[in-house]
A and B are shown apart, each in its own frame.
Chain A
Amino acid sequence: MEFSSNQPIYLQVATWLEQQILEGKYPIGHKIPGVRDLAVHLIVSTRTVQNAVNQLVTSGLIITKRGQGNFVTEDATKIDNIKLNKKMRITQEYINEIMHVAQAQEIPDLVANAMKEYEGARARRNNVTG
């Protein structure tokens, strides 16, 4: 895993772990690997991994069962909410970014153009492969 230099590593590990869970690598209610195993896998300190896990315990995605380890929550609505929040956060970041370079009234046109290009690229890709 590549880490960016300016954000705390534990937050980057938390984002990675959250993504693993949301993608279903560790399904609902399942046990996630121990802190030390994750540390060896990612080559980061166990303290960093523990901080990342704590972050996801706070957000409710991970449940700690005493003496048994860490598990993905069994609450499906919780996972759906976290997915939705994540989408909204990414949308917000995207909006902030274009607001930074464009006037508010230009944005719908910019988005429409970007979507057109995206669809075009996808169609071209499908033509090549199919």
Chain B
Amino acid sequence: MLQVNNLHYTKSRHVILRGLSFKIPTHRTVALLGENGVGKTTLMRLISGIIEPNPHSDIMIDGIMGAKIKAHLSYVSTLDWANNYDRVSDIVDYFKMGYPDFNEKRMNELIKFMRIDRTRRIAKLSTGTIEKLLIALTISRDTSVYLLDEPFGGVDVIARKKIMQSLLHWLPEEATVLISTHYIQEIENLVDDAIILKDGRLLAYESVEKIRKEEGLSLEKYYTQLYIEDNGGRE
């Protein structure tokens, strides 16, 4: 379970998040939606402890707070830290050494399914392959919470399908998953709920099936409608 209470974040006097609160139970996959610059990546970086929130903001995983939560969440947003001469197999070795919960068997299955060449240098990988490798590394750990920041950005439609199938096949069943994306239509059938951010606050946190049942709307239409309403009718 991932719980966020009264999360505030200010960066050089610019308010990015203004009192965000939500709770995602186990065995739940949630889409994190919002326009560019709304703070989706900031929220993930805050949860993962890469950056610090303002005082009196709480982030909890399964009741644990502070630096200890890092062991209970999986988030790999970049391979910028890798050396130029590192190959895919080296990265896998770093994870094997660095994380006791790293599931090597799962990683091997994912590398095979996504057709990633282990012997390739990281510096030579295409954007799409880097994205696939980031996903594979993220979901190869056995943790409570998984954070995925725009897993479909810059990848073609076939890679996107592979990534979606990987998430469905290999994410542990009881996982709490938060996926930020602009591909609302594509993500809609994959997630249970959607969190919609606007102007640094929570505009909605709703079940996708409920939106269809009660509003008769797809997630994308619901999202657009909420944004327009919140703008006072202007697009």
- A residues near B (Cβ < 8 Å) are 3, 5-10, 36, 39-40, 42-48, 51
Instruction: Please state if A45 and B164 are interface contacts (CB–CB under 8 Å).
Output: no
Instruction: Give chain B residues whose Cβ lies under 8 Å from the Cβ of A45.
Output: 29, 168, 189-192
Give B120 Cβ to nearest chain A Cβ, in Å: 26
Partner of B213, one of A5, A8, A36, A42: A8
Interface residues of B, Cβ cutoff 8 Å to A: 27, 29, 161, 164-165, 168-169, 173, 189-192, 208-209, 212-213, 216-218, 221
Distance between A54 CB and nearest chain B CB, rounded to angstroms:
13
Instruction: Specify which of A3, A9, A10, A46 is in contact with B168 (CB 8 Å cutoff).
Output: A46
Give the contacting residue for A43; candidates B168, B192, B217; CB below 8 A.
B168
Instruction: Decide: A10 and B161 in contact? CB cutoff 8 A.
Output: no
13 A–B pairs (Cβ distance < 8 Å), ordered by A: A6-B217, A8-B213, A9-B208, A9-B209, A36-B168, A39-B168, A40-B165, A43-B164, A43-B189, A44-B189, A45-B168, A45-B192, A47-B27
Q: Is the CB of A40 within 8 A of B168?
A: yes
B218's partner among A5, A47, A48 (CB-CB below 8 A) is: A5
Q: Which residues of chain A have C-beta atoms less than 8 A from B217's C-beta?
A: 5-6
Report yes or no: A48 in contact with B189, Cβ–Cβ below 8 A: yes
Chain A residues with CB below 8 A from B168, complex form: 36, 39-40, 43, 45-46
